[in-house]
């Protein structure tokens, strides 16, 4: 939607946008189960084959990425890990960024993108809908150096078939204005039930997945609810999270999904505290905003991202070459430092400008990442293994989120 905003306006704009997407929706609404196989959770997987060998580069690759993942120098001339690749591979890289996983799923569904950096709450949806295909890891030489702890995980493989290449992982942090928020917060309570003087200046991520942040806080704040996994909430637990978020709404200044808007809100002080990504804190600090980002004591939600290949892609050779480039030690190190996350490539740790980067971001520290709850898609079968109750699925979360936003 972002690029078309400038031309869309008013009723006509909204109507036209709905119409275009309605048409797009018609085109891509394939049946979910064309003779595929079943995966855990009752998921049906379409029968798609991975590429068996690389051809000649097609000349371009259309990339769908989180902001900060594929920098081509247009934001900052010094931050560019695309131009060299374009010269050496003969593949022009066209990047489109997205603000939420839901947006990524919708854009990927148009079939216009060859590869996507998908988080765990998008990967399975893309796989089940047949939007992405298995990946032949032997065609990605750098796959050998990826941390074993990230390979063949429930969010990037199904029935022992790899569907993507790990990119990196990190946590959603708590950002605050150092000059306005005192004392420095160390708990998510600062955005939920102990907002204090920051009333009306809190921000939250505008996506149903943010419900997990409330659930994560409730794991320590209200242990009697018995939440073990913030993505496996039964109806009672979801209701508690929704109540917490409805109460939080009174303290919110704005919800964000556009990262540049969050940077601006923190800069001008209309927002002083709220959830963020490290890259947003870095950009804001780069623009001289007095902000700091911390990992609160309750732990945090986070992400472990995967590069996937579009099933309808016409540029698969370029897509494979691009993915191999992006997880190569040097580039993976640059991205990890720029975005503020742990790299996926073991050898990247030797390439970072800050020799301690991998240590600071706990690249090899599995105990640390056990506290970070990666984004995942909630389904009716409880992800924490409970069988005596039914959990709430993402559709329910979506409805709940709309209810919160309009309470």
- Interface residues with another protein (CB under 8 A) are 1, 5-6, 8-23, 25-26, 28-30, 32, 43, 100, 102-103, 105-106, 109, 124-125, 128-129, 200, 208, 249, 252-255, 261, 268-270, 377, 379, 393-396, 398, 402-403, 405-406
Q: Nearer Cβ to another protein, position 20 or 389? A: 20
Q: DSSP class of residue 365?
A: -
Q: Nearer Cβ to another protein, position 80 or 243? A: 243
Measured distance CA(280)–CA(146) in Å, rounded = 26
Q: How far is the CB of 364 from another protein (least distance, A)?
A: 34
Q: How far is the CB of 127 from another protein (least distance, A)?
A: 9
Q: How far is the CB of 228 from another protein (least distance, A)?
A: 22
378: nearest Cα among 352, 360, 398, 363: 398
Q: Nearer Cβ to another protein, position 29 or 88? A: 29
Q: Nearer Cβ to another protein, position 93 or 127? A: 127
Measured distance CA(192)–CA(241) in Å, rounded = 11
Angle among Cα 397, 402, 403 to the nearest 5 degrees reads 95
Q: How far is the CB of 96 from another protein (least distance, A)?
A: 14
Q: Please, which residues have CB within 8 angstroms of residue 16's CB and are 6 or more apart in sequence?
A: 8
Q: Nearer Cβ to another protein, position 254 or 364? A: 254
> Are the C-beta atoms of residues 300 and 195 closer than 8 Å to each other?
no
Question: What Cα–Cα distance (Å) separates residue 66 from each residue in 74, 98, 175, 280?
Answer: 15, 6, 19, 12
3: nearest Cα among 98, 108, 100: 98
Q: Nearer Cβ to another protein, position 128 or 150? A: 128
> Are the C-beta atoms of residues 89 and 318 closer than 8 Å to each other?
yes
Q: How far is the CB of 14 from another protein (least distance, A)?
A: 4
Q: How far is the CB of 4 from another protein (least distance, A)?
A: 11
């Amino acid at each position: 939607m972002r690029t078309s905003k400038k031309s869309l306006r008013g009723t006509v704009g909204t109507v036209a946008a709905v119409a275009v997407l309605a048409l797009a929706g018609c085109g891509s609404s394939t049946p979910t189960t064309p003779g595929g196989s079943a995966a855990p959770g009752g998921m049906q997987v379409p029968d798609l084959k991975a590429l068996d060998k690389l051809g000649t580069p097609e000349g371009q690759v259309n990339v769908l990425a989180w902001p900060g993942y594929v920098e081509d120098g247009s934001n900052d001339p010094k931050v560019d890990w695309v131009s060299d690749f374009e010269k050496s591979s003969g593949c022009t890289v066209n990047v489109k960024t997205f603000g939420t996983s839901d947006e990524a799923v919708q854009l990927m569904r148009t079939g216009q993108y060859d590869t996507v950096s998908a988080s765990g709450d998008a990967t399975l949806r893309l796989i089940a809908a047949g939007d992405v295909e298995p990946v032949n890891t032997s065609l990605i030489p750098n796959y050998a150096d990826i941390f074993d702890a990230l390979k063949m995980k429930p969010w990037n493989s199904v029935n022992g078939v790899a569907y993507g290449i790990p990119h990196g992982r990190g946590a959603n942090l708590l950002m605050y204005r150092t000059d306005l928020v005192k004392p420095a917060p160390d708990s998510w309570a600062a955005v939920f039930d102990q907002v204090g003087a920051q009333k009306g200046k809190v921000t939250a991520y505008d996506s149903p997945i943010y419900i997990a942040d409330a659930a994560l806080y409730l794991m320590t704040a209200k242990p009697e609810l018995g939440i073990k996994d913030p993505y496996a909430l039964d109806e009672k637990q979801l209701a508690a999270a929704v109540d917490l978020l409805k109460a939080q709404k009174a303290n919110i200044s704005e919800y964000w999904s556009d990262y540049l808007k969050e940077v601006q809100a923190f800069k001008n002080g209309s927002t002083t505290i709220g959830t963020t990504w490290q890259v947003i804190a870095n950009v804001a600090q780069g623009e001289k905003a007095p902000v700091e980002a911390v990992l609160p004591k309750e732990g945090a939600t986070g992400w472990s991202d995967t590069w996937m290949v579009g099933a309808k892609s016409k540029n698969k050779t370029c897509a494979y070459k691009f993915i191999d480039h992006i997880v190569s030690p040097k580039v993976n190190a640059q991205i990890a430092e720029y975005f503020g996350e742990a790299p996926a490539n073991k050898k990247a740790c030797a390439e970072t400008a800050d020799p301690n980067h991998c240590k600071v971001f706990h690249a090899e520290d599995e105990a640390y990442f056990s506290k970070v709850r990666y984004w995942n898609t909630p389904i009716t079968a409880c992800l924490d293994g409970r069988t005596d109750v039914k959990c709430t699925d993402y559709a329910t979360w979506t409805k709940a989120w709309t209810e919160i936003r309009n309470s």
